[in-house]
Amino acid sequence: MRQFSSYGPVDPEQNFCVARTELVDQCVNQLIGDPVKGGHYFTIWAARQTGKTWLMRQALQEIPKRYGDKFALLNFSLGQLRGLNFVPELNFPEELSQVFAQEFPNQQILKSWGDFLHCFSKQKGLWDRPLIMLIDEVDTVPFALLDLMVGRFRELYLYHRSSNWLHGLALIGVRAVVGIESQRGSPFNVQRSLHVPNLTHEEVLEMYQQYQTESGQAIDPAVVEKVYEVTRGQPGLVSWFGELLTETYNPTSPYGSKKPEVLLPIGAETWRWVWHKARFTEPNNTIMNLIAKAQMKEYQGFLTELFTGANVPFYFHHPLHNYLYMHGIICPDTIKEANGELLEICRFTSPFIQDCIYQALGNEFVAKSPTVLALHPLDDLADVFNPPILNLPALLQRYKDYLARLKAKGINPWKSQPRRETDIQLTEAVGHFHLYAWLHQAIGHDCVVSPEFPTGNGKVDLHIRYEGRRGLIEVKSFVDMKKLNTGKLQAAAYAKKVGLNEVTMAVFIPVLDEDILAKLSTTSTHDGVLVTVVMIGWF
């Protein structure tokens, strides 16, 4: 029986997968172009574990089916050049020559870029028919070397089409292949690039149906919907959750030396356990790679702001947006503004990726204060937990008391934290992450404190659950009274949407005068929802 696989290209004979016929056809058509006059030189790009190498292999299997032996086929990887210390003045690096010698006929040794161009010549005799070549992992090549190499391919395409055998070429990678780092621009034509998209909703359903048909074990349709919802069809993650559900945490797995007599359906309880483990304990190389990129200083500040700033405009040509988009962290989404204008905004590519990055970045913004307890030693939080509902304003008063204790000891948790460029005030994300970490320290042993992302484009709410009761905290930074009043209406609308009749707003403001904070801390009712504003001074 086949299995789900999230490590490397899938094998249709061993792994659950979908054919993606249209995508394979598109790749083949790009490579072949006009079978007589020549194909295209183009790029295949997508984030890690989305099926680039799989697509390459499918195209290479399809071409002989359609064209017989009309074309010579060559595919290889430049992954072994990772970490190469390339000096442009040395001309053609020996390491690259060794790669080509392993792949080209007659172990062709290249000593110069002239040799490189000449090896494709019809007079050279390395091939006797048009060549289709696909080169994987070109992002591992130093940018300066890649720039020189694609420049030579461009010469072949523009000036020597009739005298060389290179009919069609695809460079496969994440980002550099599109020419972002190249001073010459794209190696070919950016419009001639091929992006590998996520799986559609129907394709995810098909993969999980394959498992049910072959194993005889049912999966609750709601579980499959959850997989698509949290992954947005990212192929590697779809398969990874398949592994966790059907093997690692399957209570009656069909795999192993002895198949259980009864295969219980994979239902909501199994999903709840898998979702928890996936977020906190199960390692995933793709996610760890994305987190490492998110924690880089040049991207960390933007991402933390994105968690609390809804509808941040997206620009493909902005280097920061472009990098995060091509590595699968954010993606654009089109919305229509009130005036009817269309706007592209930044969204996280999936709720699961958003959640993992949130958890990882949270620790980066918490001042470590081991000498100051989150709560007073004698505080039993009776007024927070004893009423019929969770008294979150009272809980936030404990947080304010904690900040006061930090100040009394000369500890400033806001020192060196990101600030807005417009008014030099601390960003909303700083307060959000600090409060979230404090909640975990103060009540995490008794309550479930979880961030939830209702829109995927920046809005984050803190949900607190305790013995069947729930509460909601929305975190804001004070800009002006107009925005504060608008925030109250939005908070009330969201609370009503999730079935709550009250919501608490934690609003950070650069004011330490308790009289002013008290005046701005208000309680009001909007559309039947009680909205309590707790102003928190920071400095």
- Which range of 253-267, 390-404, 422-436 scores highest in mean pLDDT? It is 390-404
Domain ranges of the chain: 21-195, 283-363, 366-539
Lowest mean per-residue pLDDT among 213-227, 356-370, 393-407: 356-370
Q: How far apart are CA 398 and CA 405, in angstroms?
A: 11
96-109: pLDDT as tens digits: 999 998 998 877 78
Count the residues in the chain: 539
Q: What is the pLDDT of residue 413?
A: 84
Whether the pLDDT of residue 218 is over 90: the answer is: yes
Q: What is the pLDDT of residue 389?
A: 85
10 Å CB burial of residue 261 (0-12, 13-18, 19+) is exposed
Place of tokens 């499918």: 58
Q: What is the pLDDT of residue 338?
A: 78
What does the pLDDT average to over 158-172? 92
Whether the pLDDT of residue 425 is over 80: the answer is: no
Whether the pLDDT of residue 489 is over 90: the answer is: yes
337-367: pLDDT as tens digits: 878 889 999 999 999 999 899 888 876 655 4
Q: What is the pLDDT of residue 366?
A: 54
Q: Which of 175, 139, 183, 418 is nearest to 298 (CA)?
A: 418
- Which range of 308-317, 327-336, 426-435 scores highest in mean pLDDT? It is 327-336
Q: What is the pLDDT of residue 180?
A: 45
Q: What is the pLDDT of residue 319?
A: 87
Q: How far apart are CA 342 and CA 335, in angstroms?
A: 6
Contact 357, 290 (CB under 8 A): yes
**CA geometry: angle 455, 460, 462, nearest 5 deg:** 130
Q: What is the pLDDT of residue 247?
A: 96
Q: Which of 480, 359, 478, 360 is nearest to 426 (CA)?
A: 478
Whether the pLDDT of residue 275 is over 90: the answer is: yes
Q: Which of 454, 457, 448, 16 is nearest to 224 (CA)?
A: 16
Q: Mean of the per-residue pLDDT values for the chain?
A: 88
Which value, to the nearest 10 degrees, does the dihedral of the CA atoms of residues 246, 249, 250, 251 take?
Answer: 180
Place of tokens 């829109």: 455
Q: Which of 231, 236, 256 is nearest to 246 (CA)?
A: 256
13-23: pLDDT as tens digits: 999 999 999 99
Q: What is the pLDDT of residue 295?
A: 87
For strand 461-466 and strand 448-452, is the pairing parallel, antiparallel, or unpaired? Answer: antiparallel
Whether the pLDDT of residue 458 is over 80: the answer is: no
Q: Which two tokens stand for residue 183?
A: 């001073």
- Percent of the chain scoring above 70 in pLDDT: 92
**CA geometry: angle 507, 510, 513, nearest 5 deg:** 95
Whether the pLDDT of residue 186 is over 70: the answer is: no
- Which range of 137-146, 216-225, 317-326, 333-342 scores highest in mean pLDDT? It is 216-225
What does the pLDDT average to over 47-72? 93
Contact 372, 402 (CB under 8 A): yes
> φ and ψ at 203, to 5 degrees?
-70, -35
**Torsional sign, CA 340, 345, 351, 355:** negative
Q: How far apart are CA 425 and CA 409, in angstroms?
A: 23
Q: What is the pLDDT of residue 188?
A: 54
What does the pLDDT average to over 144-171? 89
409-419: pLDDT as tens digits: 888 888 777 66
**Please, which pLDDT band fits residue 388 given cuts at 50, 70 and 90?**
confident
Q: What is the pLDDT of residue 523?
A: 96
Q: Pick the more confident residue, 534 or 107.
A: 534
- Percent of the chain scoring above 90 in pLDDT: 53
Q: Pick the more confident residue, 457 or 131.
A: 131
Which value, to the nearest 10 degrees, does the dihedral of the CA atoms of residues 369, 371, 374, 377 take?
Answer: 180
**Please, what's the largest Cα pairwise distance for the chain?**
88
Query: Rg (Cα) of the chain, in Å, rounded?
Result: 28
Q: How far apart are CA 39 and CA 66, in angstroms?
A: 15
DSSP 157-168: HHH-GGGB-EEE
Whether the pLDDT of residue 129 is over 90: the answer is: yes
Q: Which two tokens stand for residue 233?
A: 């069809």
Q: What is the pLDDT of residue 190?
A: 40
Whether the pLDDT of residue 110 is over 90: the answer is: no
| Residue type for position 528 | G
DSSP 274-326: HHHHHHHT---HHHHHHHHHHTSHHHHHHHHHHTT-TT-B--TTSHHHHHHHH
Q: How far apart are CA 44 and CA 171, in angstroms?
A: 6
What does the pLDDT average to over 422-436? 78
Whether the pLDDT of residue 536 is over 90: the answer is: yes
What does the pLDDT average to over 59-68? 96
pTM above 0.75, yes or no: yes
Q: Which two tokens stand for residue 349?
A: 């590519």
Q: Which of 506, 510, 469, 470 is nearest to 491 (CA)?
A: 506
What does the pLDDT average to over 35-50? 88
What does the pLDDT average to over 171-193? 59
Q: What is the pLDDT of residue 454?
A: 65
Whether the pLDDT of residue 150 is over 90: the answer is: no
- Quick one: which H or E segment has residue 65? helix 52-67
Q: How far apart are CA 65 and CA 430, in angstroms?
A: 57
**Torsional sign, CA 148, 149, 154, 159:** positive
Q: Which of 305, 300, 290, 327 is nearest to 458 (CA)?
A: 305
Pick the CATH number of 21-195 from 3.40.50.2000, 2.60.290.11, 3.40.50.300, 3.90.950.10: 3.40.50.300
DSSP 314-374: --TTSHHHHHHHHTTSEEEEEEE-TTS-EEEEEEES-HHHHHHHHHHHHGGG----TTS-S
The residues with which 164 forms a beta bridge, in sequence order, are 121
Lowest mean per-residue pLDDT among 45-49, 115-119, 437-441: 45-49
Q: What is the pLDDT of residue 401?
A: 93
- Give residues with Cβ within 8 angstroms of 206, minimum separation 6: 18
Q: What is the pLDDT of residue 36?
A: 92
Q: Where are the beta strands (DSSP E) in 137-284?
A: 166-173, 194-195
